[in-house]
A = this chain, B = another copy of it.
Amino acid sequence: MKKLVDDPANAVTDSLAGFALAHADTVAVHGIDPSTLARTGPVYATRKQPAPHGTVAVISGGGSGHEPLHIGFIGEGMLDAAVPGPMFTSPTPDCIYEAIRAAHAGAGVLLIVKNYTGDVLNFDMAADLAADDGIAVRTVIVEDDVAVENSLHTIGRRGVAGTLLVEKIAGAAAARGDCLDDVAAVAQHVIDNVRSMGVALTPCTVPQIGRPSFDLPADEIEIGIGIHGEPGRYRAPVAPASTITRDILDPVIADLRVNDGEKVLLYVNGMGATPLSELYIIYGAARRLCDERGIIVDRSLVGDYVTSLEMQGASVTLLRLDDELTALWDAPVNTVTLAW
């Protein structure tokens, strides 16, 4: 295994310590001493400068290994806190609970949870603990992956790249002062209108495991892969980018039932090891397919946002836009990763 890690067992902690040092002006990482790298308590991260009192707190989290999701999205106009678990493993309820208590600003908390059994269970337990403290908590479950139902680790559909869009738009709604019910409603509205599908060219290796998460022959790709290397819909021979793009975008269009003349946000996400130049090739191919089908691409995003360590591959996501979602997408955001 070739990885830039020290003790593989401490990869997540060591990485969070580096993140804390690099972004100490905007983000606070709790539960790790960045000098000694020791764990000192429940691990979670918050905005250095909390949102004003009376604002709904928006929190997400999940297994590590998908960076910049979620820690890179902490900041004004997006997340108030994020809870990074062990690599590809849900954070424990105590960490989520402490994040809720730390981020709560008197107006309730929205939890944005990707649909994996462990995450759903642990966020639910933390929400119950917080409710016992009198904190109003609402939860939305992201399940944008159209590839498969009832995969490894998941009942129903998996939550993948679309999670970023839910976090951005819910964060914008909270920042403008919406109440908890309204922030939860707009987050659910995004979830109802966002779909994704991905492809993997190579597997990835969790440091503590030390071997690739699955085998993929040199001449095959996996269509419909999950962000932990869960099996997809099928394996196919290596194909041109425009063919692969069609094979992952058409199921998204079909499932979302996008009609001729509707506006969408088109988002091409890299899995971690795909050159940015190739993501733009996928974007161009997706854009031409949308044009052919009369779908109006009104907003765009291209980059490595919801990754799977050093997996090569990409996903395409469509979000059906209306004026409300467009305005919230365009609203100012100031995080380590997204800023405008």
A residues lining the B interface (CB < 8 Å): 2-7, 11-12, 14-19, 21-23, 34-35, 37, 64-65, 67-68, 72, 201-202, 218, 221, 238, 240-242, 244, 272-285, 287-288, 297, 300, 302, 304, 307, 309-310, 312, 314, 334, 339-340
What are 16 inter-chain pairs, A to B, with CB distance below 8 A? A2-B218, A4-B244, A4-B278, A4-B279, A5-B281, A11-B281, A15-B284, A17-B284, A18-B285, A18-B287, A21-B297, A35-B288, A65-B277, A67-B275, A67-B277, A72-B276
Complex Cα spacing A204 to B241, Å: 18
Q: Say how far A249's CB is from chain B's closest CB, in angstroms.
A: 13
Given A4-B282, A283-B21: A65 in contact with B14 (beta carbons within 8 A):
no
Additional 10 contacts, C-beta under 8 A, given A4-B201, A34-B284: A4-B241, A4-B274, A4-B281, A4-B314, A6-B240, A14-B284, A18-B281, A19-B283, A19-B302, A67-B280
Q: Does the CB pair A284–B2 fall under 8 Å?
A: no
Contact A277 B11 (CB under 8 A): yes
Task: Name A283's contact: one of B22, B35, B276, B288 (CB within 8 Å).
Answer: B22
Residue of B nearest to A220 (CB): B2
Contact between B312 and A276, CB atoms less than 8 A apart: no
List 6 tightest A-B contacts by C-beta distance, closest first: A18-B284, A273-B273, A18-B280, A4-B278, A67-B276, A15-B277
How many copies the complex holds: the figure is 2
- Shortest CB-to-CB span from A111 to chain B, Å, is 23
Chain B residues whose C-beta falls within 8 Å of the C-beta of A35 in the assembled complex: 288
> Which residues of chain B are within 8 angstroms of A244 by Cβ–Cβ distance?
4
Specify the chain B residue showing the minimal Cβ separation from A340: B339
A66 to chain B, nearest CB (A): 9
Contact of A278 (CB < 8 Å), options: B15, B37, B279, B300: B15
A310→B288 CA distance, assembly (Å): 26
One of B5, B68, B276 near A240 (C-beta < 8 A): B5
In the complex, which of the residues A15, A287, A304 has the most CB atoms of chain B within 10 Å of its own CB atom? A15
For A273, what are the chain B residues with a Cβ–Cβ distance below 8 Å? 272-273, 310, 312
CB distance from A85 to the nearest CB of B (A): 13
Nearest chain-B residue to A302 (Cβ)? B22
Residues of chain B with a CB closer than 8 A to A21's CB? 283-284, 287, 297, 300
